[in-house]
Every structure is written in structure tokens, then in C-alpha cells.
Chain A
Amino acid sequence: MNTQQAQPDSFVFDSASEAEIVVALSKYPPERKASAVMPLLYIAQRQMGRLTGSAWVPVVAMDEIARRLGMAAIRVYEVASFYTMFNTKPVGRYHLQVCTTTPCWLRGSDDVVAACKRATGITAFGETSADGQFTLTQVECLGACSNAPILQVDDDYYEDMDGPRTVALIESLRKGERPPAGPTINRSGSAPEGGRKTLMDPVHSISENK
């Protein structure tokens, strides 16, 4: 692992981040402020996304977090590298995270992956597209199997995906649009497609309970 690669020389939290840090720190007793390491890493990652278009946590940011929280830098590196949600390497403006765990796979995640590759020109997981817009990552179960397959873009879940809808999503992202997150088929949350299918008769259900 080459941590030296593409690392910025300095990192300072901007005022928006500082406001978030105050909130994060207020949740823990002062002598246990190291507990705020995950929120702070996330704040740093979002700030990088905001300011540079690539949401990741450089080493200097981790060092700054260690300093603020009074912990050894290596402890921050350990946390940041343990969780896949923290990007320790630069990513594209849009981070495409495709779930390929069994339920999503059974529901066609292979098509989603293929569509992502086709639409972005990426050839393998972990790569960033030539234009720097997209990074494709393989992730494990996102906990939304009832809406499988899932494509997570940055913090948003796009659900019930298939190949064509994936291509369409990527095209609109490329245009700078962010389609609303959630199911991409005609359903609300994880309710049945096309609306309610059971317990249609309110009288029936009430009389059952009598």
C-alpha cells in the first residue's frame, strides 16, 4: 500500500465542518472525546467531497483528527482503514457502490455491474473512470435486500435497479442531476410494486380482532 501517493500536504477543517465537529464532540464526555473519531472522519471525508469533488480522507486529515481528539495517529488510521465507508484513496465525484451479495446477485446485480462498467468505461472494481467522475466499488450487503439489487451512489440508495435504469442514472449524474433516491420502480419504500396487495379490506381486519 502506498499511502504517499497523491496525498495533499495539509488539511484544515472549514467553518461548515467546524460546526459539525462541535455537534459531534458534544455527544461524548470530554475525556472520552476519542469516541468521536468516526463522526470526524466522516466530516473530513464530506468536506473533501465538497471542496475537491473527491470524498476521501487523506493522511493529513487523519493526523489532524488524531491531534484534535488526543489520540495516536495510528489509532485513527486503524479505524479509517477498517471501515470500507471511509475512502483512504481518492475517489471519483460519484462513488458507485454496487451490492453483489447473494440477494442482490440473485436479483440481477451482475447486470447493474455490467451497466456501470459500460456507462463509465471502468473495467474493474476499484477503478476510477478516465474522466475522474466515477469510481466503481463492490460492496457487501447494504441491508436493503428487499429492494435488491442496490446501487449506492455516495450516501444515497438507488433500489430495484436493472441494467437500463443504471445506465440512465449514470447519464443523469453525468449531467449534474441527482435523481431522487429510493426505489426506481413503481413502489413506495419496500411496499409491493403497484401498491398494497394485502389487508385491502379494513372491516375484515378489524372484525378479525374482535
Chain B
Amino acid sequence: MVRVIVDGTPVDVPPDFSALQACEAAGKEIPRFCYHERLSVAGNCRMCLVQVARAPKPVASCGFPVSEGMEILTDTEVVRRARRAVMEFLLINHPLDCPICDQGGECDLQDQAYGYGTGISRYHEAKRAVTDKDIGPLVKTVMTRCIQCTRCVRFTTEVAGTPELGMVFRGENAEITTYVEKALTSELSGNLIDVCPVGALTSKPAAFHGRSWEYKKTDSIDVMDAVGTNIQVHARSGEVMRIVPRVNDEVNEEWLSDKGRFSIDGLKRRRLDRPWVRVHGKLVEASWQDAFVALARRLDGVAGYQIGAVAGDLCDAESLCALKDLMAALGSPNVDCRQDNAWYDLTSREGYLFNSGITGIGEADVLLLVGTHPRHEAPVLNARIRKRFLAAGRGHFPIGMIGQPPTDPTYDVTVLGDGPEALGALQAGGSEFAEAFRKAKRPMIILGHGALTRPDAAGIYAACQTLLSQGEAVAEGWQGLNILHTAASRVAGLDLGLVPGLRGRSASGMLRGGVDILWLLGADEFPVDKIGTETFVVYQGHHGDAAAARADIILPGAAYTEKPGTYVNTEGRVQRSFRAVFPPGEAREDWRILRAFSEVLGKTLPYDTLEAVRERMAAINPVFRQGGGGLQPAAQIAGQGTSAPAAAASVSAPEGRVEAGAFRPVVRDYYLTNAISRASPTMAECSRVYGPAAAVAAE
């Protein structure tokens, strides 16, 4: 620690702090444009000038290292004049178009001009104008507004790992561009909108749709992948206007994937807003009462084992819990939350979690990716891997990959093979990567669904365990085996035991005609035409996707922005979201639908309030007791999860052999992976521009 004196107050800060960070630690606000906590220091805007005792002139605090006994003055006449001058320079070429600028109201330039500027300009010459750039369907550019802070250049280069933006030409002609006109290829490009301090980079789909101060802001959790990104839903008059990330250093830092940010126009399209019942082969609108009665009549006399339920990828834990309880009440052992038929080691919670935790990526010293391409499956988590890769420096964080990456992973990988055979080769050792893995203190394996959805998943899992157990120097308490989920609801489903019970059928068994009545809770990610023609299908969900078209009864549910919910991310972190808007029309919260129907059946589920459902969830698995802000790494909760009913499920022990054959990509088209994104015109446009994942073409 170093002691510095900020405006007369001593503070102790780490020696690698900059003067700006020291001032913040002392509670002083330092205006800045180019400095960003999560990017490298550029020091080119000069807004952060402060006075340092004995320095001959003001210094840019963002790039000025602290030293013992340094005296910093942040509020002297010299500093105030310096800031006014910098503001005046920045505004020389900045247009006065705040009234028509989408950044208005949340613009650093506006705020700081108001706080630190002079309020008048002495500049009467012509302002420069810069042509706008087309950088894809998501980010709109108004380049005349750019103040050349280069945050966007540093973000794409450092965090996103897609160095495509740069500052070309110089001086008066300098501009931010891709030079050759092209769309940014990052799955994180939406973050540029947040990173840009002015209105140069704004949201293209949301252009001219609203003002930041009009929105009602609700904390929520992203369900587009299993990272559990903390988000805030901004709504106006019952409509979701935009989604922005919230800061959570343990999960998403302050980033959000493009699908999470821009799928929202899908929330307004293809919605199921009233119940439908199939009459003489045609779906007709119905009231809740009629739909329930029709369904109850159909269920009458059907044996429990003839009924089955499959839960989809976007469900909240509450509805999963109610679905499981309803199936139990109907006497059915057929329930599954794995519509992709993935295999997990269900004997303990570690068997299906990202055990190192997302922050654990920062501690790992070698990484092996098996049947996964995190860039498409969890872009925000991929940014962590890249961060670790950059922090370690060239060659110090070896990353091996089994399976071909369909696109650049954004870090250097050694492709060790196409399929599970490569694991055997690694166990045998010999290769450079195998040696690095064996010697590592914190070796990490990320096992994806490219491997887990194969028939030999158990063998692959066992091979990964063996490989880790061969480590010679593994640190005490380090858990290196990580499952990367892609479905937001999956871990909650497993925690609540939504797997087939005794002699129960799995999702694929149910689809193959194993049941007469199939209840789909938002399950769309499977070939619907595989459902037997005789099967009576109940679709409960929010979007009229493929499965709804096949359904005999449709029960309209709520999307993730329309209900309070609990989600468990891939590392087992229990997080809660709140309702931002109401579901459209007759649609209702899903657990309430299930509860209401249980009453019609005369098998009323024993809860009537959200609190009561959550009590019930906690009773099934104590993990849920810590919900609502209880955020701890998987490794800590893991032990308590052993009582999870998942353990009771009929599962094979992790053994078996592996078969040859290349891993298939988990995500075929990043932009179209669920019912919401498939309904979104923005995502459709992205899919058109960026094409389906290169892997599909290669097949």
C-alpha cells in the first residue's frame, strides 16, 4: 500500500493504482472520457487533469502512477481552468445535436460539459464533419459526434477480441472506422453502445425510440445463455424498450451478449396471448376455463406413466418446480428438462456445474475445451477466457481445444483433435499441451454440450475426470471440471430434479411416442416432427414457435421479462429477476397456470404465492434458499446440493467407453437459438449478415 494525499485527506491505495483511481478511492469524482476501468489506459482526452504537488503543470491522472506521499489536488483553480479548456476543445468539433441524439440524457459529454464546462463557445470557424460508417445491424454510428477517445477501439481489440475498429488518418482528419466497410463480427458488439461516452455509437434497432429518463428500470437476468448475465430491463408503457447489463464482477463484469441485448423485438412478435384448443384438427381460440376443461377431460383416465413433460431452455425455476409437482400429482415419472438429451453425472451437483466458477477462469493456468465453442455458447464467458489469455501473456495460458472451432475463438488455441479420441491421446501424454496440463496447478476443462449430447457422453466425462486426476500439482481444493450449459433453465431443472424418475422416460423416449400426453413447457429446441402422431401435445409457453404449431392445446405463458423468476446459471449461482412488464393478453405467469390447472384437476398444488413456491423449491433443494442475492461460487454450494433429488434419478455411473467421431457444434447459428430470438427481426437480420455459423457450411 502507498499513502497518497488527495485534497488533504490521506488514503492508502495499492502501488499499481493511478492517480485517478486514488482520487476515486478518496471519494473524489474525476471527469474522464477515454479512461474505462476495464480497458487499457489511453490517456488521450485530457479530461482527467489534476494537480500534483511539485509537478510543473496539470497531469492526466488516469495514466499517472501513484507514489508514496504524493499530494493530489482535484479542486483548485488551475484544475478547474484546465477542465474548462479541455471541454472547450472537445466541443469545438462536436455538433450541438443533443435534442435529436439518442445518447441525450445519459451522455458523459453532456453531463461533463454541464458540470465542468464554461457554457459558451468562442469558436466561430467551421466544424468538421465525418461520414457515418455502416458497422452492421446493431450499432448505429454518427461519427461527427465522436470525440476520439478510442474506447471502442480498445473494447473490440481487448475485450471482444475482434480487432476490426481503428483510428485512421490523423489530426483533424482522424476518424474511427473499420476502413474497409464491414460489419463488426463480435457477439459482444452491443457493449460499444455503453462504452462510447457520447452519441457516436448508439443502438441501431432502438434509434429514436425513446429517452433514457422515460424508462421504468427493472433488474433481471438474461436467459439467452446459461451465464446468468445480470441485466436491467428498461420498459415504457408496458413495452420492453431496451436491455442493458448490470455490473456483476463475478458473472458478467459489465458486458452483455448481443443476443441478450437485441432479441427484445422478438418479445413483441409471434406471442401466444390467449389459450387455443385444437378442434377437428384446427386450433381455435378458447378461454382459460375451456382450455383447462378440455385438457382435464383429455387427461381423465389416462394412467400417470402415459403422461410426460419436457421443460424448455428459458424457464424460470418456479415454473419448473410447479411442472414437476403437477407431474408428480398426476402420478407420472416422465419429466425431463433436457430436451437435447444431454447426459450429466447426476450423483452430485458437481456433476453438472461449472465448478471453477466464472471467476475461476482468471485463476486457471491451462484450459482444455471439449466439445464446446464458448464464443457462440456464452460470449460473455468467452470474454473472460480472452481476458485470462491476455493477462497471462503470450504462451503462458495454453488453451487446447477438442473439436474444430467454427469461428475464431478470439484467443490462440491448439486444436488437439476432432473427437473424444484426443482425450485418450492427452492421457497418454507426450504432447506439449499434455505436459502443460499435467504440470498445471489449476488445470481447467470446459466440457460442452457438443460432447454431453453424444451417446458416449459418460465415457467422455470419465476421460476428463481421469485426465484431471493425472495432474501432478493440482492445487488443494481446485475443481477443474466444468460443464458449460447453454440453456438458462438447465441447472435449475437439474437442481429441482426434472429428470425421469423410476422407470420414467427421458425426453427422447417421450418424443418417440412413449407417452400419450406430452406437456411441453416452453420446449422448442428439438425436432417437433419427431413427436408421434398419436401424441396429444400441450404447449405452455410464450411464443408461437414450431412446438406450438404442433400442439393440441396451447396455454399462453410469460416471457422472462414478464414474470419474477429464479434462475440458476451454469456455475450454480441462484439469481432472481423481477417483472418488468405484464404478459400480453390472457397470458399468465407459468407457475400460476400450472397451479390453476392443478385446481381444476382437483389435485391442487400446495402453494398460492410466489413466496410459497420458493419455499417449496427450497424444500426440494436447499440451494434455492440462498436465492435473491445469495451469490456464491458453485464450489461452496456444491456440497449442500448432494441431497438434490437429481441423485435419486436413474443414472448410470460415469463410466463407459468413448467412440470415434467429431464433436458437432452446439450452436449452429448464434443469433437464432430460442423462440424469442427466432421471432426477432433484429436477430434475423444479424443471422442474414453474419451467416449461420461457419460450421454448418463445413458440414
Interface residues of A (CB under 8 A from B): 1, 3-4, 31, 59, 72-75, 77-78, 81-82
Contacts and interface: CB of A to CB of B under 8 A. Distances in A.
Interface stretch (B163-171, B331-339, B443-451): B163-171
Contacts of A81: 168-170, 179
Contact of B180 (A31, A59, A72, A75): A59
Contacts of A4: 180-181
A2 to B, nearest CB: 9
Interface size class, chain B: 10 to 19
Interface in B227-262: none
Contacts of B157: 72
Contact of A74 (B166, B169, B181, B394): B166
B178 interface: yes
B609 interface: no
B164 A72 contact: yes
Contacts of A73: 179-180
Contacts of A3: 179-181
B179 A74 contact: yes
Interface of B: 131, 157, 163-170, 177-181, 394
**Most chain A CB atoms below 10 A, which of B131, B179, B181:** B179
Nearest to A31: B394
B165 A74 contact: yes
A81 B177 CA distance: 12
Contacts of B170: 81-82
Contacts of B179: 3, 59, 73-74, 77, 81
B163 A82 contact: no
Contacts of A78: 166-168
B368 to A, nearest CB: 24
A81 B169 CA distance: 5
A75 B168 contact: no
B396 to A, nearest CB: 13
27 contacts: A1-B131, A1-B177, A3-B181, A31-B394, A59-B179, A59-B180, A72-B163, A72-B164, A73-B179, A73-B180, A74-B163, A74-B164, A74-B178, A74-B179, A75-B163, A75-B166, A77-B166, A77-B168, A77-B179, A77-B180, A78-B166, A78-B168, A81-B169, A81-B170, A81-B179, A82-B169, A82-B170
B74 to A, nearest CB: 34
A121 B30 CA distance: 56
Contacts of B394: 31
Residue of A1, A59, A72, A75 with most chain B CB atoms under a 10 A cut-off: A1
B326 to A, nearest CB: 54
Nearest to A66: B163
Nearest to A77: B179
Contacts of A82: 168-170
B350 to A, nearest CB: 39
A3 B163 CA distance: 19
A3 B169 CA distance: 13
A6 B119 CA distance: 47
A77 B131 CA distance: 18
Closest 10 A-B residue pairs measured CB to CB? A72-B163, A74-B166, A81-B168, A77-B179, A78-B166, A81-B169, A82-B170, A78-B168, A3-B180, A77-B168
Nearest to B394: A31
Contacts of B164: 72, 74
